[in-house]
Amino acid sequence: MTASASPADTVDEFICRVVALDLDGACELVSDDLEYDNVPVGKNHGPEGLKTFLGMMVSGFAEVQFVVHRQTVTGNIVMNERTDRFRLGEQWLDLPVAGVFEVNADGKISLWRDYFDMATFTNEMTRLTTSA
């Protein structure tokens, strides 16, 4: 992506790379001073912090999907409502998420903040691991 890409294009491409498990490629689209705030879990900073966290988040899952239901853009801010899906064996963990992205003047994501309910995630993980 280039600085001429729209903020929505940058976020869409970033999501495509994350779900393809191309974490190096995803990190190419974030700024060196990225703040990734996974609200119930905590903050990570910079491409390496993001890559480490995402690597832990997706490890053990056979497939990842971010299903975007709605997305809106105001200036350089992209907000989406989505379901993040993680496949373990033949079963899926579905997690409702609201995401906020800020794209800087260089066309890179400088802020990514995800909001979700930790109890939903915990309950889903328990369901998956006890029924496997």
Let me know if 94 is a catalytic residue. no
For residue 31, the tally of other CB atoms under 10 A from its CB is 17
Let me know if 24 is a catalytic residue. no
**Beta strand segments in 14-90, E:** 30-38, 42-45, 63-74, 77-88
Q: Which of 9, 22, 114, 117 is catalytic?
A: 114
Backbone phi, psi, residue 41, to 5°: -105, -45
Residues 114 and 57: their CA atoms lie apart, in Å, by 13
Q: Which of 12, 24, 84, 94 is catalytic?
A: 84
Active site residues: 84, 114
